[in-house]
Structure 1
Amino acid sequence: MRFIKSLVPRSGFRIRPTQLQLLQTRSLTSSFRGVAVNTRQTPTPAQSRYRRPAKMDINTAITPPISLTAADTARFTTLAEPKMLVKSPGSHDPNTQSNYLIFYPLHNKVSITIDFEKKRFLGDITTQFECRQQGNCDEILLDTRDVEVQGVEILTGPGLKGWSLGEEAKKGNYGRQLRISLVNGVDYQSKVTVKINFATTDKSAALQWLTPEQTTNGKFPYVFSQCEPTYARTIFPCADTPAAKSTYEFSVRSPLPVLCSGLQTTVGSFDKKSGSLLYGYEQKVPIPSYLFALASGDIAGTRVGPRSWVWGAAEELITLKAELDGEVEKFISIAEDITDSEYAWGTYNVLILPPSFPFGGMENPVFTYATPSIISGDKENIDVIAHELAHSWSGNLVTNATFQDFWLNEGWTVYLERRIGAAIHGEKFFDFSSIIGWKSLEESVNEYGPDHEFTKLVPNLVDQDPDDSFSSIPYEKGFTFLRKLDKLVGREKWDKFIPYYFKTFKGKSLTSNVFKETLLAFFENDTEAHKALTTKIDWDKEYYSPGLPEKPEFDTSMVDVCYELAKKWKNKDLLGFEPAHNDMDGWTANQKVVFLDKLTSYDPFSTKDIDLLAKTYGFDNSGNMEVVFRFYSVALKAKYEKYYEPAAKWVQGIGRMKYCRPTYRSLAACDKDLAVKTFRARESWYHPLCRAMVKKDLGLDN
């Protein structure tokens, strides 16, 4: 793979045709220092020794559903007439300007040419819509934001009367509504196919363009998309709502390897003029718009399991493989057992993105995006992969109908993630990780304030940007509620509901109200469980009360040793405690995290004690970002100037919002000028989503 070094001339980015063919059309598997490297296409699923994968048929398409079928609507009447849940924000997604309930998208063909020099996507999207309303339906409404609409045509159905873009939405950052008027209206179940030509702009928030210097190996430019929650509309016009799920075909031309949220079908059609190849992908499982994903750059892959691969820069593959080899298959198999259903997406691929990626991971189907911060050398942070893998059921197959119901995605996913962890590490791990999560929940509630709308399990997001409500609350408050239900009905009974839930809503989107009715209906003939769910659960309070929920009773056996050591540090002088290097012998990195979290809950430590912490345990030199982040939190809380500059330098290379946002806030509390200066120096390096949130944190958004 050394020849790749010659592919970028010093004068700028351009790949000669012969060089591109070497980069992109070499044999499927080549050798990189003993690691099998896939540089060309998505691998086909391998036969597995596990029961379910052997029966897998990934080529069977799932009929695209609406949010609820007619039978569902008849059964779950709370959607149409919410009687008990009068505080519900409603079942229609308030964060879309599309009329997806009238014209529902069934299938999309997306054609994109990636232009690295101009930093834009140029292409078209062809969508087949189905009319789902009786009567004369003559207008299709779609979401757009900061994208050029260059033309609209009707391929099948009545002719085009005209199209126009509405005014910019005054609230919610929703963009401009695209109105497509038909010459004649269509009736129920009629199909209309629309082709729209588009070009992204420099304001398209879904895309992050990286220069070679911003990538891991510094060789080629890189681009990746991040469409959750409502940024698909900044790439192409669409019904940008989790309530609308459709299948996709991708046709992407790029001078660098391409990965999409589907299974690869072709690589071909080399264009000498542009020095690019045409990549084909297909997603036969219906997905919402926020799961559209595309990445292009210097990307290679290696197998880490019978049906899983890891992808990144070729030079990283030995390290990546060492961290994930053999681990992913464990996660998949356990998740299949818990849900009693097969992994539906073929292969599971993990793409390790450059460090500016703003999240721990993003559950794009087939290709999970992951932060490089999970690669710590000790396998302590790969629970992010368990989380994103769990999304293959909760979120990707069964989806929240609105982002007001986001807890149905993330709360369920955290629950499954911790069940996976407990199956691997023992049942005590479930509560151990829950305690860490509870600390994160407390911090989010404190940050917003206990009465803030966004601290509700089901917040009202009318006229709001869903991105503004992003925090650990839907994750941890959602998990806490599901844990409560688990405890209330009993694990044996709850474990029978889990497969029922995922099979019932496979391929569908649902609201919190429908979840409630589904749960009660499932236990209707179980007098004890049904009574508990109707008398011991105040559903309105659980859904719509702000602030912290009732704290669960955790098994603290795995954290007690952490708390005991933290107490010794707190009362070090009084107890005559002398810290030693072996205090943490046998501890996991996560136990060190719990220890440091406990220290941050105390009054600030002296600078002398912070120096002793670093010297004794080496926290400041740890390769685990979870540990380093929390050590800096302890030091900055004490306003220890010695660590201002190291923390500032560290955060300049961290794009994951979990770390960089609180670090910037802590820096600002110590030295506002330094925090602003640090951010301004690297502002363009951060992802647009992260950049916007840090600006708000630092008061720079006005």
Structure 2
Amino acid sequence: MRIILAAALLAGTAVPSIAQTAAPAPILTTAEAKDVWTHAEPEVARVTHVALDLDVDFATRTLGGSALLDVLAAPGAPRIVLDVDDLAIASVTDASGKPLKWTVGPRDKETGSALTIALNGANRIRIVYRSKPGATALQWLPPEMTFGKKKPFLFSQGQAILNRSWVPTQDSPGIRQTWEATLRVPGDLVAVMSAEKLSGDKGEPLPDGRRAFRFRMDKPVPPYLIAFAVGDLKFRPLGPRSGVWTEAPMLDKAASEFVDVEKMIDAAGKLYGPYRWGRYDMLLLPPAFPYGGMENPMLTFLTPTIVTGDRSNTDVVAHELAHSWSGNLVTNATWSDSWLNEGFTTYFENRIMESLYGKEQAAIYADLDWDTMQREIAAGGGQTGAATRLHGDPGAGEVDYTKGSNFLRMIEYTVGREKWDAYLSSYFDRHAFQPQTTAGFLADLRERLLKGQPELELSLQLDRWSYGAGLPGNAVHVKSETLAKVDAKLAAFNRGGPAGAVQPRGWTTQEWLRFLKGIDKTQTPARLKELDETLGLSASSNAYIQSAWFELAIANRYDPAVPYLRAYLSRIGRGLLVYPLYKGLMKQGEWGASKARDFFAEAKPTYHPSTAAGIASILAAGAERE
């Protein structure tokens, strides 16, 4: 692949800040690397480092202060173009304070606005600004929405392109940047970020009673990985490189659930090379967090829904850890290739779980992923559906995860694990801290692993997997003996057997999901009542079990489950668990649509802006069908 090495092409035009110690990452310039979700023109001028200096104001729900940007520009470049979304910009100057001309273009509902700044030879730009209360990356939680119930909480979620609502920069995964930050917060709260802490766990006291927290990321990362949280946070070390942050009521539970994290780091390093980020800490967030986890470097963000007391959902931790290689180290250049992050990571996650817990445990996860893949492909149009392609429009459900990981598993099974592991370890090392495209990966694979073996390459169907719809015939279905036993009980139940014969005592979340998602979709009220009362589904403390059960209840308009459903939708903000419930409600005519609208109106303040937008789209699409 042809790339521009910015340091070589644009040498001598920027003075890096003190904190920038890494060489600028390359910019890819092939057609496939063109990012349509950014206004930036990185081939003209690009950001290499961001220094943030911000006040966190809970009263106004805004961040205010400045961003100092290091710029690497082509000789004579007249301007630099940044991404912003509804920022209140007060001034733009060079490093000496000289004003620079700037304009903010019209706002696009998906990509925000272009902030165009005349450079006039400047290699550093200071932007003084304030975020808006509705910034799409930020969720401000009142005390009653936290575990402690006494103090407010704030967290950011930048993926995919939301960070432009609080950081004026070039918000594209292909434009990697180092960064540093100072956050000033109320004196009784703690700030954490996805970077090295420079000011200690308690920050530095300020004369006005606030505290300042300073951070540094000296490795170039895609800007969606700049993340922070502020709350009544406590820390518990789990090992020499790891620990967990969360509110006091959840600290013991989180520490117990994530006790194996050091073993995971060791297992991952043995598979595909050393862990390059120093520490691996985790932040367990309030239930409003919209995802299972977010792989922010040095500080993975996690949903509390995975804390079930039996450690059966720590595959989420393994997944986010694996992103330290696939995603954070080697990153999709555009979101059209997000499978390079998620497919690689899902495969890697399974290998970590196998290393720690054995082949059968890994088979359970792989078998469930197969089921999910089949459902996603069917929903996406089957063997001809455009939504089932790996390279394509972003947002294709879990296809990137499940089909992407199966693609890599197929290669492993075809070429052999030893050769495949050696290749992957080399791949992560050679492309470390760089963006990547599907075409780039395939070219590398052909050159490094398959060269001189045309028959082998033909058997792999690389282009069919990467660019074609549906599922190629050489896909690998890993089957679990544990889930086969669940399937036997499921078959008996579907034939009319009693719910009491299921006997799920000791089941993991994965066994529950296999059973609940396999139940015939049409059930009588009496049968649903038997299920619910015998297995305790509506009142389960496991958010995964409840979500799967509510899907079945909704499909049959089972009214006794509705009060539990209503409470669930106001308590859980994880998109994976709530989106299917709103979609199911919208398929049930006015019985469901009226409930969906009412529940959303009630729960909307508890959702992250991205989750709320996703649900609003579901409701709007359902209304159009009526």
TM-score normalised per structure 2: 0.90
Cα distance in 1, alignment partners of residues 367 and 224 from structure 2: 30
Question: One-letter code of the match for 1:118?
Answer: T
**Residue 218 in 1 paired to residue 149 in 2?**
yes
Aligned to 1:329: 262
Structure 1 residue matching 2:538: 3-state secondary structure: helix
2:287–2:574 Cα contact (<8 Å) kept: yes
- Give the match for residue 95 of structure 2: 155
1:471 aligns with 2:397: yes
Residues 476-528 of structure 1: per-residue CA shift (max 9 Å, x gap): 12112111211221112101111111001111011110000111111255x44
Q: Report how far residue 360 of structure 1 moved.
A: 0.4
Distance 1:517 1:270, change over 3 A: same
Q: Which amino acid aligns with 1:564?
A: A
Distance, in Å, in 2 between the alignment partners of 1:309 and 1:666 is: 38
CA-to-partner distance for each residue in 1:136-168, whole Å, 9 max, x for gaps? 3121111111111211111279x7652111222
The counterpart of 1:306, out of the listed 226, 237, 240, is 240
Give the residue type in structure 1 aligned to 2:102.
W
1:627 matched to 2:545? The reply is yes
| 1:542 paired residue number | 465
SS at match of 1:153: strand
SS where residue 389 of structure 1 aligns? helix
**Which amino acid counterpart does residue 616 of structure 2 have in structure 1?**
K
Distance in 1 separating the partners of 2:297 and 2:191: 15
Secondary structure of residue in 2 paired with 1:142: strand
Residues in 2 aligned to 1:161 and 1:121: alpha-carbon distance in whole angstroms: 23
What amino acid is the match of 2:227?
Answer: A
Question: Corresponding residue for 2:72?
Answer: 130
Distance in 1 (CA, whole Å) between partners of 2:100 and 2:53 is 25
Counterpart of 2:214 in structure 1 is: 280
Whether 1:571 aligns to 2:506 is no
- Give matches, 1:57-76, under 5 Å: 61-67=21-27
- Counterpart CA distance in 2 for 1:109 and 1:663 is 41
| Cα deviation code 1:265-322 (max 9, x no counterpart) | 015553343x311111111121111000011011111112232111111122122222
Distance 1:570 1:269, change over 3 A: closer
Deviation of 1:667 after TM superposition, in Å, equals 2.7
What is the Cα deviation at residue 585 of structure 1? 4.9
Cα 1:276–1:571 shift into 2, 3 Å: same
Report the number of matched residues.
596
Take 2:20 and 2:99, find their aligned partners in 1: how far apart are those partners? Answer: 34
Which of 155, 167, 179 is the matching residue for 2:116?
Answer: 179
1:647 — aligned with what? Answer: 565
| Equivalent pair of 2:86/2:165 in contact (CA under 8 Å) | yes
Matched-pair contact (CA < 8 Å) for 1:308–1:347:
yes
1:338 aligned to which of 253, 263, 271:
271
Sequence identity (%):
29
Secondary structure at the counterpart of residue 106 of structure 2: coil
Q: What SS does the aligned partner of 2:37 have?
A: coil
Q: How does 1:418-567 map to 2 (within 5 A)?
A: 418-450=350-382, 453-460=386-393, 466=394, 469=395, 471-525=397-451, 527-528=452-453, 531-533=455-457, 535-550=458-473, 551-567=475-491
SS at match of 1:180: strand
Cα 1:445–1:645 shift into 2, 3 Å: farther
**Structure 2 residue corresponding to 1:687, chosen from 578, 585, 608:** 608
Counterparts of 1:279 and 1:646 in 2: how far apart (Å)?
Answer: 41
**2:583 & 2:107 partners in 1: Cα distance?**
32
Equivalent AA in structure 2 for residue 232 of structure 1: N
CA deviation vs aligned residue, 1:519-560 (integer Å, no higher than 9, x gap): 1111255x44x5312x12334432232344545332242321
Contact 1:457 1:544 in 2 (8 A): yes
Query: What CA distance in whole angstroms lies between the structure 1 residues aligned with 2:112 and 2:354?
Result: 43
- CA-CA distance at 1:656 after TM superposition: 0.3
Q: Secondary structure at the match of 1:122?
A: strand
Whether the 8 Å contact between 1:160 and 1:183 is mirrored in structure 2 is: no
Counterpart secondary structure, 2:620: coil
- 1:239 and 1:94 mapped to 2: Cα distance? 12
The aligned amino acid for 2:268 is: A
1:90 aligns to 2:32 (yes or no): yes
- Mapped contact 2:407–2:465 kept (Cα < 8 A): yes
Distance apart, 1:254 and its partner CA: 0.5
Shift of 1:401: 0.5
Cα distance in 1, alignment partners of residues 584 and 370 from structure 2 = 21
Unaligned runs of 5+ in 2: 1-18
Residue 598 of structure 2 corresponds to: 677
* Distance (Å, rounded) in 2 between the aligned partners of 1:308 and 1:161: 44
Alignment-mate amino acid for residue 508 of structure 2: T
1:50-61 alignment runs, 5 A limit: 61=21
Give the conservation status (yes or no) of the 8 Å contact 1:160–1:180.
Answer: no
1:638–1:247 distance in 2 versus 1, CA, 3 Å: same
Listed one character per residue, the Cα deviations across residues 105-155 of structure 1 (whole Å, up to 9, x for unaligned) are 222211111010000000111111212x4x531211111111112111112
What is the CA–CA distance in structure 2 between the aligned matches of 1:380 and 1:561, rounded to whole Å? Answer: 18
What per-residue deviation string (whole Å, max 9, x for no partner) do you get for residues 451-480 of structure 1?
5543320114xxxxx5xx152121112112
8 Å contact from structure 1 (residues 605, 638) kept in 2: yes
- What residue is the counterpart of 1:391 in the other structure? 323
Q: Describe the superposition over 1:62-97 as per-residue Cα deviations: whole angstroms up to 9, x where unpaired.
A: 4231135xxxxxxxxxx64xxxxxxxx621211110
Tell me the SS of whatever aligns to 2:594: helix
Please tell me the residue identity of whatever aligns with 2:464: K
Check the 8 A contact 1:222/1:295 in 2, yes or no.
yes
1:665 to 583, 598, 622: 583
Distance 1:277 1:125 in 2: 19
**Mapped partners of 1:128, 1:643: distance in 2:** 55
Please show how residues 110-121 of structure 1 align to structure 2 within 5 Å: 110-121=52-63
Q: Secondary structure at the match of 1:378?
A: coil
- Check conservation: 1:648, 1:667, Cα contact below 8 A: no
Answer with 443-452 or 236-245: which moved more.
443-452
Unpaired runs of 5+ residues, structure 1, are: 1-58, 69-78, 81-88, 185-190, 461-465
AA aligned to 2:270 is D
- Tell me the distance in 2 between the aligned counterparts of 1:343 and 1:388: 13
Which SS does the other structure have where 2:39 is aligned? Answer: coil
Q: CA deviation at 1:659?
A: 0.6
> Counterpart of 2:14?
none
Residue identity in the other structure for 1:546: A
How many Å separate the matches in 1 of 2:532 and 2:450?
57
Contact 1:477 1:549 in 2 (8 A): no
- Does the CA-based 8 Å contact 2:196-2:298 persist in structure 1? yes
1:406 aligned residue (338, 346, 352): 338
CA distance in 1, matches of 2:47, 2:608: 29
3-state SS in 1 of match to 2:136 = coil
Per the TM alignment, residue 418 of structure 1 is displaced from its structure 2 partner at its CA by 0.5
Shift of the 447–524 alpha-carbon distance from structure 1 to 2, 3 Å rule, reads closer
Are residues 160 and 538 of structure 1, via their aligned partners in 2, closer, same or farther at CA, if it must alter by over 3 Å?
farther
Name the CA distance, whole Å, in 1 between partners of 2:60 and 2:506.
52
Alpha-carbon shift at residue 620 of structure 1 (Å): 3.2
Pick 1 or 2: higher relative contact order, CA cutoff 8 A, min separation 6: 1
Q: What is the alpha-carbon distance in structure 1 between the residues aligned to residue 460 and residue 234 of structure 2?
A: 50
User: TM-score, normalised to structure 1's length?
Assistant: 0.81
Measured in 2, the distance between the counterparts of 1:262 and 1:410 equals 22
Counterpart Cα distance in 2 of 1:145 and 1:416: 34
